[in-house]
Structure 1
Amino acid sequence: MQFDKNTNQWPPQYQEKTLDKPLAVPYLQERPAAIDIKIGRQLFVDDYLIDSHDLERVYPEPELCEQVIFEPKTPLEMNDGYNPCATPFNDGLFYDDQDQKFKMWYHAGWFNGVGYAESQDGINWTRLKELYPERESESVIPIGPGQIRDGAAVWLDYHASEKDERYKLLVFFREFDFEINHYHKKPKHSHDIPGSIPPTERAVLFKSANGIDWTEVTDVGPCGDNTGFFYNPFTKKWVFSLRTFSSLDSRIRTRGYYETEHFFKGANWTAENISFWSRTDIYDMPDEQMGYYTQLYDLTAVPYESIMLGVFNVFMGPPNNVSGIRKQPKICDLKLGYSRDGFHFSRGDYANFISSSREEGTWNYGYAHAVNGGCIVVEDELYFYFSCFSGQSPKFGSHKYAGGNLGLAKLRRDGFAYLTDQGKTGQLLTQPLTFAGSHLFVNVDSSTGQLLAEVVNERGEVISGFSKSDCLPVTADSTKQELAWKEHTLAELSDQSVRIRFYLDHAQLYAFWVSDSSLGHSGGYLGGGGPSAYQGRDKPAQ
């Protein structure tokens, strides 16, 4: 695949040529003369910002909460005991800065409805009917006769121009000419019931001012049941992530890409408008026990500080029919990718970020899914919510789509990757940078050592007043720590092209940024928000 730079075509129009070669990330090879770092914390998830270093990059694992934090309980969620489900699929989970609450939309009962719950701490939840006992339904979206929901996606648009569009929702419906109360009564094919009419498949967009009362707006273009969307604030585009299949092997799931400036008005795409986007590659290794070819089941993304954070849902197997016969959930694992243009993603070390347990009797046996919103900033941590299925069914005993629960994993803020000297001392020199502001901040653990820095010009010469010897050592474990020089501030170098050389001594460096505030505002994007975020922009905790 090759991007025709002469046409400046965007999004890129690639053609598949292999099923397993890693996809190119052009911006890692062709950087600008000076990288603008005015927006957000600058992360070391790849080599984009780095000229040279003698450090080791580590991709930490998150801390997985052992217990499920949300599970089926209500009549709708219990699905009459057949396929209990109370978990986003992908739906969404965001922190609403106006109400100062965590808000979750989720799959309530397999294929039944769109549930809603709120929380003060992101751990303990209050459901819709508990909040508003007068409401007739547990679902915020009416489900009509013969209609069932499949995948859905929610977005809290912090900067919506219209109040009634602050919350945006996509739901994929199937509509039959007869009543479908439970998944197992749905015919696999229309010919399973002679004379029946094949179901109508629709993906519908809704809008809401409060996330509870929704108004249907429009259908979208052609797509599959596993369709989602997100907003890219860097390009100011809405992006729809579409289920597609490989042009080289129609059995292989891939992802298609469509973007538009206008969420509702621009959603009527055609098949020709969908660009090939992503797939698994040779480094997405098969499960050693199952041995199936890995596939990209889903790809969603969220802005985080200066990058787009991608969650790759990698399908490990078994196929639907085998999973159905065994009455076990399909196995999906979640991996992270990182993008600086919203289209191309570097994949880090390809390790699982969140894994299905694969253990019968556990709440997270399989079918892991990301939740729209990605991660939420809570003080010095990131909360990653995810869905998993236990496979446990009161009436069936077990079923591949039973026991949908919500899990939580925690990670240090900016903790996707860090650079360490491994106790041997080391240094890092950045690419040429331009910035605005006067305060250099770092996310660092140098509590058993120190971190120093110097600023050099394009010729590599140390700028007077910004030498290593002028730097005040940082000896702290902090996600937001100012690094300063004795008599000068970076305001003197604002909008100049300079490099920063960091010196690590028994230290781990996660991120750096330049702020115009002594409080360390990064000006970065936080799509999922959080108690420490305001309208998607970083600010100190209150």
Structure 2
Amino acid sequence: MISRTIPNWRAMCFLMATAALTAHGASAEGAVESPTLYNGITSPESWPPPDRPLSREPMAVPYLEVPPAVIPIDVGRQLFVDDFLIEETSLRRVLHRADYYPHNPILIPDKPWEMETASAGHEAISAMPFSDGVWFDPQDNLFKMWYMGGYVKSTCYAVSRDGIAWEKPELDVVPGTNIVQAQERDSSTVWLDLNESNPQRRFKLFVYLRPSQRYLTIYFSPDGIHWTDSGVQTGTTGDRSTVFFNPFRNVWVYGIRAYEQTSIGRYRRYWEHEDVLAGARWEEGQPTFWVGADTQDAPREDIGTPCELYNLDAVAYESVLLGLFDIWRGQPEDRAKPNELCVGFSRDGFHWSRPSHDPFIPVSETVGEWNWANVQSAGGCCLVVGDQLYFYVSGRKGAPGSSASGVCSTGLATLRRDGFASMQAGAEPGTLTTRPLKFSGKYLFVNAAVTGGDLRVEVLGEDGTSIAPYTVDSCLPVSVDSACERVLWKEAENLAPLVGQPVRFRFHLRDGALFSFWVSPSPSGASNGYVAAGGPGFSGPTDTVGKRND
């Protein structure tokens, strides 16, 4: 059971400090108003948060300790991945992990240039994203993938109409191949920027070139094939650094792999800027400590090495920032790194909540399988394909008896849309009451699996009583398995009379699972939330479509 808890000492200090400032008038004249985000979270005046000592302690998340008094929910589907939205509940939170596609791998090294390696003495051939990127391009109505062709050799390009069957087109960059960047490279990130006004910069590439240069080089492209050097290199980075755009703050974020030896091993530093080029030149010591593996990342029993954060890819998904944490669990002598992916979520763009430290997309423990070692994420993280999320990952077959990567290929894992966590009830009914919310939409939707039971919703006023006609008795039961289902009341056309008012939703659930809810301005159920790396049917970075009948 999850219920509102007494604030911990950090929250109590915050509340006492706020009360003291108010008592002395410090919140009135002369105070600098802190920016308030789309979800009601107020950022501190010093942003990003100042540097702090390196630590393996789990990251404190201020907005979970002291949530907003009223939470606006106009952006995106509202997920139950933490307690941000929940005032009290008797439902049980269940965390879900992605399932591997049964016919993996979906992309293998089968071209001559993919059989090469630029890493002396390292037995490996490659057709895999090392972040790189997998996106759906609405302009061409195609899935597009950028990947490492040959081990740290080049950047290649593949396309697909369904996200399953991939083609490697012959291009003119290196005639007769699908190579789009011939330079030897380490990690890279490709970003399809649908908000870019300059068509020549629609695609952005951030790549760590070899031999080691200790910075990322930035390229632009109109088509993802023909790339032009921007002439800008970033400040100092480690080799496995990545980049993403955070639309909630309208900034480009550099997740900088720490390049110094530390007590916590590999970790990330944070740097953000509104301008992708002007913000690239940070000075030594400016990026702040962001996140690393923590004490809840359990070492493998067969290795025993403390975990480290090998990589972090992130993207805006619906109303949260989704992070894929690649956790390094040691380097055995007889196996390639058994890295695997865990998941985290942020509502302010900096602080991460990790509801589970168990693998979200694990390595296989079967020798000879394509993903026996070193599973890593792709730039863009996931795509929305119908009612599923597609996660493209790299895997290494390894070479038993050595630490070599062996055959490096690409696989697919899938998850129900919004399916990271669900709130569940069995035969005994339960309830979930939200914190005070406000919205400008009119139509309540849920993502729920309730085929053997029912889900009803009532709306509560500030005094905690039901607001007629939005009572539980007037609510038509939801008894379907649907990722986009409208909630209706017998005597109410929609929620228009409640627009702008602080209200709570109370969900009554029996024999079912609730994944998310949202209030849409459209009867189609469009969430206006972000759709990660896109997907068929979406023309931009957000869901303006809602429920489709295809």
**Residue pairs, 1:255-266, within 5 angstroms:** 255-266=268-279
Q: Distance in 2 between matches of 1:418 and 1:99?
A: 35
SS in structure 1 at match of 2:113: helix
Q: Distance in 1 between matches of 2:523 and 2:54?
A: 51
- How far residue 461 of structure 1 moved from its aligned partner, in angstroms, is 1.5
> Which of 8, 14, 18 is the matching residue for 2:45?
8
Asked if the contact 2:135–2:192 (Cα under 8 Å) also holds between the matched residues in 1, the reply is yes
**Residue pairs, 1:86-105, within 5 angstroms:** 86-105=127-146
Asked if the contact 1:245–1:255 (Cα under 8 Å) also holds between the matched residues in 2, the reply is no
- How far residue 486 of structure 1 moved from its aligned partner, in angstroms, is 1.4
**What do you get for the CA RMSD once the two structures are aligned?**
2.2
> Partner of 1:31 in structure 2?
67
Q: Structure 2: where are the runs of 5+ without partners?
A: 1-8, 18-43
1:41 aligns with 2:77: yes
Asked if the contact 1:174–1:201 (Cα under 8 Å) also holds between the matched residues in 2, the reply is no
Q: Distance in 2 between matches of 1:435 and 1:247?
A: 48
**Residue pairs, 1:108-257, within 5 angstroms:** 108-129=149-170, 135-143=175-183, 148-175=184-211, 200-217=213-230, 218-244=232-258, 249=263, 252-257=265-270
Asked if the contact 2:245–2:252 (Cα under 8 Å) also holds between the matched residues in 1, the reply is yes
Asked if the contact 2:442–2:520 (Cα under 8 Å) also holds between the matched residues in 1, the reply is yes
**Residue pairs, 1:336-355, within 5 angstroms:** 336-355=343-362
1:75 aligns with 2:127: no
Asked if the contact 1:305–1:526 (Cα under 8 Å) also holds between the matched residues in 2, the reply is yes
Asked if the contact 1:90–1:151 (Cα under 8 Å) also holds between the matched residues in 2, the reply is yes
Q: Distance in 1 between matches of 2:126 and 2:541?
A: 30
Q: Deviations over 1:65-87 (max 9, x none)?
A: 23211110001111179521000
1:520 aligns with 2:525: yes
The total of aligned residue pairs comes to: 503
Q: Deviations over 1:290-319 (max 9, x none)?
A: 11110111112111000000101000011x
Q: Give TM-score, length-normalised by structure 1.
A: 0.89
Distance 1:172 1:102, change over 3 A: same
Q: Distance in 2 between matches of 1:101 and 1:344?
A: 34
> Partner of 1:534 in structure 2?
539
- How far residue 133 of structure 1 moved from its aligned partner, in angstroms, is 9.9
Asked if the contact 1:115–1:140 (Cα under 8 Å) also holds between the matched residues in 2, the reply is yes
> Partner of 1:57 in structure 2?
93
Asked if the contact 2:187–2:239 (Cα under 8 Å) also holds between the matched residues in 1, the reply is yes
Q: Distance in 1 between matches of 2:365 and 2:269?
A: 29
> Partner of 2:513 in structure 1?
508
Asked if the contact 1:229–1:238 (Cα under 8 Å) also holds between the matched residues in 2, the reply is yes
- How far residue 247 of structure 1 moved from its aligned partner, in angstroms, is 8.0
SS in structure 2 at match of 1:410: strand
SS in structure 2 at match of 1:103: strand
> Which of 477, 488, 495 is the matching residue for 1:490?
495
Q: Deviations over 1:71-105 (max 9, x none)?
A: 10001111179521000001000101111100000
1:298 aligns with 2:338: no
Query: Identity of paired residues, percent?
Result: 39
- How far residue 17 of structure 1 moved from its aligned partner, in angstroms, is 5.7
Amino acid at match of 1:77: E
Distance 1:289 1:438, change over 3 A: same
Amino acid at match of 2:74: K
Q: Structure 1: where are the runs of 5+ without partners?
A: 176-198
> Partner of 1:375 in structure 2?
382
SS in structure 2 at match of 1:140: strand
> Partner of 1:183 in structure 2?
none
Asked if the contact 2:158–2:178 (Cα under 8 Å) also holds between the matched residues in 1, the reply is no
Q: Deviations over 1:234-273 (max 9, x none)?
A: 0001001111168861x61111111010012211111222
Asked if the contact 1:286–1:293 (Cα under 8 Å) also holds between the matched residues in 2, the reply is yes
Amino acid at match of 2:438: T
Q: Distance in 2 between matches of 1:93 and 1:100?
A: 13
Q: Distance in 1 between matches of 2:208 and 2:174?
A: 27
Distance 1:30 1:246, change over 3 A: farther
Distance 1:349 1:25, change over 3 A: same
Q: Deviations over 1:418-445 (max 9, x none)?
A: 0001221100000000101111000001
> Partner of 1:178 in structure 2?
none
Distance 1:134 1:368, change over 3 A: closer
Asked if the contact 2:336–2:399 (Cα under 8 Å) also holds between the matched residues in 1, the reply is no
Distance 1:123 1:490, change over 3 A: same
- How far residue 174 of structure 1 moved from its aligned partner, in angstroms, is 2.2
Q: Distance in 2 between matches of 1:14 and 1:346?
A: 19
SS in structure 2 at match of 1:293: coil
Between stretches 357-366 and 449-458, larger displacement belongs to 357-366
Between stretches 58-67 and 309-318, larger displacement belongs to 58-67
**Residue pairs, 1:271-350, within 5 angstroms:** 271-318=284-331, 323=333, 326=334, 328-350=335-357
Q: Distance in 2 between matches of 1:133 and 1:13?
A: 44
Q: Give TM-score, length-normalised by structure 2.
A: 0.88
